[in-house]
Structure formats: structure tokens, C-alpha cells
Amino acid sequence: MPEVLSSDQIASYHEHGYLVLERHLPETILSDIRAEIARFEEEARTMTASNDRLDLEDTHTPDDPRLRRIKLPHTISDVFRNLMYSDHILAPARDLAGPDLRLHTTKLNMKSAGYGAAVEWHQDYAFYPHTNDDILAIGVIIDDMASENGPLMVYPGSHKGPVYDHHVDGVFAGAFHPEAVGLNPADAVELKGPAGSISIHHGRIVHGSALNTSDRSRRILFYEMMAADAFPIMGSMTKWEGIEDYNTRMLCGEPTLTPRLKDIPIRIPQPQPDVPISIYEIQKGLKDRAFETIS
Ligand SMILES: O=C(O)CCC(=O)C(=O)O
């Protein structure tokens, strides 16, 4: 029996590759998240370059601080960690990917008013191919997300199609131009919703988001996870040292030593560019950009 999703929602996710659950989180959690973000924004004021906690916009200066991403927020804040283990996040994930779930990563993409960076079109699975694709990302929508402030966009149904070539000149660039592979921009759907909603997108769905030139921020906290029997395939960006370390990433249920293999397309995201591991840096290798940048 599903825990929180209706059978229609589950069927729609499997058909289209995404869901939005409106007003899913209580206001108290949202205000705790916003207070944590304010703390990290203060920290960014003292910085001149990105570090392993905070990723700064290219246009950041200490006088005009511009925080682009809080990296691995669950490792540096109890608020983000406790939410990750809560049923607010795990119950819908279990309904879609089964009872045994392992964390892949977390990140909080800031997309600030006026300049928040675009994320070029890509498939998460192209970054981290696994033996099966019961892989999903839950996005906690922290600000009302509407057309004008750079919502996450997806191509419905693309999770059942190819894994597109994310390479440029033989090097992994973490993105591709949808029109170059025959996707029609008119088919893209914006995942909008009021603050406190969550979006869920499938690991293979094509998604991206535009620069935020509006006067409102658009912040999303992502929890990315997979079924425990999805094991990383060579070249994926998952780093782990031995099975004990790997199993510390279990979010719920039981680990296994028996990968489940699914007959799905796979590309190896190698060789990697010689840049810091950040989607923003990796995507700088893309020549044919779909979204504007800001300087
Ligand atoms: O923040 C966004 O709009 C998209 C983020 C994303 O797809 C990613 O960071 O992999």
C-alpha cells in the first residue's frame, strides 16, 4: 500500500516522469530552512572564492555577495539533515522507488533575484549511471515558483527515452541542447508551485532552468536518492570507499549486495573536464547554450 501518494499520482509519475505535491511542508519547516539559508549567506560575505560548503556565482564579490549553491547541506545543518530523514521526504520517495533507499547527494540551488544562474538541460542519470533507474530527486520549493523566477522545467516522458550525449569535443559537459536532439521546446513543462511544495523528478528526465532575472528569488533544496539495489556504474560521480561507507548512505530500509539490472540505455560520463565538481563549472564546456548567462 502506498504511504502518501494516490495510485493516480504514482501512475502519472511513471508515465510522465515528474510530480508536484503542493503545500507539502508545514510553515515551521520552511521558516527553519530560510533561517539556515540566511546563516550561510552571512558566511558567503566573508568569502572570495567557492569552497567545499558554498558555491559562489562568477559575479560574486565580498561587497556584492552572490551565493549560488549550498553544497551537501545535510552535512552542515541539522535542519536539512532532519528533513532528509523525515517522512515528508522519504514517504513519497518510497511510494515511487521502493522501501530501500540510498542517498546520492543533496544541494540547495539559490537562483537569487536578478542574477541566479541557469542550469542547462541535462539528465541526472547522465552524471551518475546506475544498474537500474529507480532514481529520483525531490525538490523542496522554498520560494513561490512561477514562470518568471526560473522554475525547474522538464520534458514529460523523456525519462523513457535515450540517455542523450552530454559530451562536447569528447569531454563530459553535463548538458546538451534539446533542439539538437529533436526535442520541441514547446513540450517543456514548468514545475511551479507555492513555497512549501515539493517537486519530484525521475533520474532520467530531461530538465533544466533559466536565469532568474525577476525580482524574486527561487530557491530549491534537492534530495537525490535511488533504490538500494541501484549500483553505480563506472565513471559515475559517486565516490565511496568500501561497502561500509556506501551503506552509511542508506536513508531507509535495507542495503543489499545484489544489484538489480535493468535493460536501459547508459553512457559513461567520462572523461570529466578538469574543473571543480559542480554542475555550473562542468556545463561551462557547453558551446551551444539554451539559456542566457549573466556577467
Ligand atoms: O536548480 C535547478 O533549477 C536545476 C538543478 C539541477 O538540475 C541540478 O542541480 O542538477
CB of 130 sitting under 6 A from ligand 1: no
Residue of 274, 251, 235 lying closest to 127 (CA atoms) = 235
pLDDT at 281: 87
CB of 191 sitting under 6 A from ligand 1: no
pLDDT tens, position by position, for the chain (295 residues)?
Answer: 999 999 999 999 999 999 999 999 999 999 999 999 999 999 999 999 999 999 998 888 888 888 999 999 999 999 999 999 999 999 999 999 999 999 999 999 998 888 888 999 999 999 999 999 999 999 999 999 999 999 999 999 999 999 999 999 999 999 999 999 999 999 999 999 999 999 999 999 999 999 998 999 999 999 999 999 999 998 777 788 899 999 999 999 999 999 999 999 999 999 999 887 788 889 988 988 999 887 5
| pTM, 2 dp | 0.96
Contact criterion met (CB below 8 Å) for 109 and 219: yes
Residue with cell 539559490: 110
Element (H, E) at 244: helix 242-247
* Residue 151 CA, closest ligand 1 atom number: 3
* Residue 122 CA, closest ligand 1 atom number: 7
Q: Which residue CA neighbors atom 1 of ligand 1 most closely? A: 109
Count CB-CB contacts under 10 A for residue 237. Answer: 17
Rounded CA-CA distance 54/278 in Å is 11
- What CATH number does domain 7-285 carry, 2.60.120.620, 3.40.50.2020, 2.40.40.20, 3.40.50.1000? 2.60.120.620
pLDDT at 63: 80
Strand spans (E) along the chain: 18-21, 54-56, 67-71, 101-109, 119-122, 135-141, 153-154, 167-168, 171-172, 189-190, 198-202, 207-209, 220-227, 250-252
pLDDT at 99: 98
